[in-house]
Amino acid sequence: MKTGRKVLSAAASVFMILLGLCFLIPLYIMVINSFKNRAELYMSPVALPTVLRIENYAEAIDRMNFLTSFMNSLVVTVSSVFFIVLFSSMCAWMLARTDDRKSRFLYFAFVATMLIPFHTLMMPLVQMMKWSREYLGIPVLNTRYGIVFMYIGFGMSLAVFLFHGFVKSIPVSLEEAATLDGCSRFGVFFRISFPIMKPTIMTVIILDIIWIWNDYLLPSLVLNGKELRTIPLSTSSFFGVFTIQWNEAMAGLTLTIIPVVIFYFCAQKYIIKGVVAGAVK
């Protein structure tokens, strides 16, 4: 009986890992092709490369101006995510804890606008950037704070939605106890509620990092200068009208996702811990 169960769970483990490997096929194709030249790529895109052409990477790093773009992406992503998490958790918490008409309306507005297709906002955004400098004297184009501000705006919908759902599931009893102990609203939020939200915070962080790290359209509207380009913008020169320089593009993309993979590995364990259960008990 016991060995039978062991075999079964071992089989399940193997199945799970195999399934996992299946999910990696696109990444596998990406990595192997990043070492080929054009002719090899044409012969067979699934075959392993005959020689590891590291020079693709050297070329990609050079063409993408990798270090600068990497730092730009890092600054933009981290700051945007930082503010998204802070503002959206505060806002969602307040909206969830104040059950009146304006809160419900605000929440509804946040959620509904998640459905607006971005392409239709591009022209107005570009024009607003112009007005902002002309009439308010605040340049937005080619500034990092400009794009971060926009990411904060665009990131609110999903984040507020996620936090709101989570806050609803936290019993108010803890917060009430803290209030009785003389805690201010800020104290209640930052000492009690915010730490409890940890799983959702991690979810929001991960989703937003991936989104912002890979986003092309918004930075393409806001950041033109070479010294400000983020990684997705710097890969654009691999993508011609009809031709894509796959080998270099793949090398560039492999480099692009490595930081996110590393981050994901590090952050994993925080998601695993059932923080909620612990806090409520």
Query: Please, which of residues 233-262 interact with other proteins by CB under 8 A?
Result: 233-234, 236-244, 246, 249, 253, 257, 260-261
The alpha-carbon radius of gyration of the chain (Å, integer) is 23
Instruction: Give the whole-angstrom CA distance, residue 72 versus residue 66.
Output: 10
CB of 171 to other proteins, least distance (A): 8
Q: Is 17 in the site for other proteins (CB under 8 A)?
A: yes
Q: Is 129 in the site for other proteins (CB under 8 A)?
A: yes
- Residue ranges in 194-223 that form contacts with other proteins under rule CB under 8 A: 199-200, 202-203, 206-207, 210, 214, 216, 220-221
Which residues, 6+ apart, have CB-to-CB distance to 111 below 8 Å? 157, 160, 161
Out of 49, 66, 68, 94, the residue judged to bind other proteins by CB under 8 A: 94
Q: Is 111 in the site for other proteins (CB under 8 A)?
A: yes
Tokens describing residue 186? 């800020």
Out of 38, 48, 52, 177, the residue judged to bind other proteins by CB under 8 A: 38
Q: Is 115 in the site for other proteins (CB under 8 A)?
A: yes
- Residue ranges in 53-82 that form contacts with other proteins under rule CB under 8 A: 63, 74-75, 78-79, 82
How do the residues of the chain divide into helix, strand and coil, expressed in percent and rounded to 5? 80, 0, 20
Q: Is 46 in the site for other proteins (CB under 8 A)?
A: yes
CB atoms within 10 A of CB 118: 11
Pick the piece of the chain touching other proteins (CB under 8 A) from 50-58, 148-156, 172-180.
148-156
- Full 3-state SS string of 184-216: CHHHHHHHHHHHHCHHHHHHHHHHHHHHHHHCC
How many of the chain's residues bind other proteins (CB under 8 A)? 137
Q: Are 167 and 195 in contact (CB under 8 A)?
A: no
